[in-house]
């Protein structure tokens, strides 16, 4: 297939591009490099441009007959979305709307959307399945849910088929060590802990140890990036066979606490870390764990990297390679 990966220079997008290319698909990346990196696009052509630019999109869609579009080009910082919601509504909603309209105009039938557990808001029960009520508690989550609603309407009216992939905590790196997580600024636990282990950071902060969990720190569902990407490919294939849109919650179904992540990082890296406990971060639920039964049943999806230490090992290899290549 010929697939356009929007945001293919970012963390999840770059892994997706690699996986698709190695599966013999022809992939083109569209990325404005606002958060992604040119050197993360190791496979296929990179078109530097904005997903909200109709001219760029029209040109791309006129030049190539894409079988599908996968969209990863969103802003993802919850805190920033509260302070600067305009940035989030503009890119995550308005620009995505332009992308969808241009796809419809060019008769592209299949769309895979990078969504999030943040569409559910404060968990009413756990693990969280697809039937869980959707009440996002921040602009980031709302922007993603708006696109999910848009996609339902575009399917009903224009026949655009979509797969919404709701990630819990995407983590880890390409097992070959070629790609990894490179957000700037970094706010995610796994890379921050490993940067503390490698000496790039002075310490790791635990945001609250008074949650109602076994060790008092928040519990999350860490799912390996390659497993996530695999689910995207399976969802696309399934959609092409059934002709139906679908939504999937993607996680390992196992929760690990912040303290367990730190302990695993110490073990994997062999380094001791300075750990500082601070106040809770606003908007953090105590426990967020996915029920991915639907993805397993409908897609035959089975996470391969379901051990926390294995996920951290891949991320640690990336951290070591990254330091060795003098990127920072």
Give the residues lining the site for ligand UDP (CB under 6 A).
169, 187-189, 192, 204-207, 218, 220, 258, 281, 284
H helices of 84-210, in order, are 85-88, 96-105, 139-158, 189-198
Query: What minimum distance in Å lies between the beta carbon of 264 and ligand UDP?
Result: 13
Q: Are 193 and 206 in contact (CB under 8 A)?
A: no
Q: Which is nearer to ligand UDP, 137 or 150 (CB)?
A: 137
Nearer Cβ to ligand UDP (109/291): 291
Paired with 2 in beta bridges are 26
The CB-of-70 to ligand UDP minimum distance in angstroms stands at 21
Half-sphere CA count of 87, side-chain side, radius 13 A = 14
Around 50, how many Cα atoms within 13 Å sit in the side-chain half-sphere?
Answer: 12
> Is residue 319 helix, strand or coil?
helix
Residue 240 CB, shortest distance to ligand UDP, in Å, is: 30
Residue 41 Cβ, how far from ligand UDP at the closest point, in Å? 24
- Residues paired with residue 303 on neighbouring β-strands, in sequence order: none
CB nearer ligand UDP, residue 103 or residue 204? 204
Q: Which residue is nearest to ligand UDP (CB)?
A: 218
Q: How do 68-71 and 110-116 pair as beta strands?
A: parallel
92 or 102, CB closer to ligand UDP?
Answer: 92
CA distance 244 to 239: 5
Please give the biggest Cα pair distance in the chain. Answer: 56
State in angstroms the smallest separation of the CB of 262 from ligand UDP. 9
Q: Which residues are catalytic?
A: 140
Closest to ligand UDP by CB, 324 or 328: 328
Give the helix/strand (H/E) hosting 246.
strand 246-250
How far is 246 from 212, CA to CA, in rounded Å?
A: 34
Tokens 């991320």: give the residue: 315
């Amino acid at each position: 297939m010929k697939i356009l990966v929007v945001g293919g220079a970012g963390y999840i997008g770059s892994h997706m591009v690699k996986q698709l290319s190695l599966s013999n698909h022809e992939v083109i990346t569209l990325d404005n490099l606002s958060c992604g990196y040119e050197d993360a696009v190791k496979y296929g052509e990179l078109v530097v441009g904005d997903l909200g630019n109709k001219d760029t999109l029209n040109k791309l869609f006129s030049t190539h007959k894409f079988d599908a579009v996968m969209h990863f080009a969103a802003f993802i910082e919850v805190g920033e979305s509260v302070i600067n919601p305009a940035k989030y509504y503009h890119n995550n909603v308005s620009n995505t709307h332009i992308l969808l309209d241009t796809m419809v105009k060019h008769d592209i039938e299949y769309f895979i959307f990078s969504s999030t557990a943040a569409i559910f808001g404060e968990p009413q029960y756990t693990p969280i399945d697809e039937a869980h009520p959707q009440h996002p508690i921040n602009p980031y989550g709302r922007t993603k849910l708006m696109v999910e609603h848009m996609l339902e309407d575009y399917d009903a009216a224009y026949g655009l088929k979509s797969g919404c992939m709701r990630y819990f905590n995407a983590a880890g790196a390409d097992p070959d060590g070629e790609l990894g997580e490179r957000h700037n600024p970094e706010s995610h636990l796994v890379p921050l802990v490993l940067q503390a282990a490698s000496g790039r950071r002075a310490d790791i902060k635990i945001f609250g140890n008074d949650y109602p969990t076994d060790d008092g720190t928040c519990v999350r569902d860490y799912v390996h990036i390659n497993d996530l990407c695999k689910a995207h490919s399976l969802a696309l294939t399934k959609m092409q066979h059934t002709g139906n849109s679908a939504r999937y919650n993607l996680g390992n179904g196992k929760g690990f606490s912040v303290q367990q992540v730190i302990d695993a990082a110490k073990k994997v890296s062999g380094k001791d870390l300075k750990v500082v406990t601070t106040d809770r971060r606003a908007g953090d639920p105590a426990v967020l764990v996915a029920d991915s039964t639907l993805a397993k049943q409908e897609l035959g999806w089975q996470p391969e990297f379901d051990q926390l230490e294995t996920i951290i090992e891949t991320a640690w290899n990336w951290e070591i390679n990254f330091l060795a290549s003098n990127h920072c």
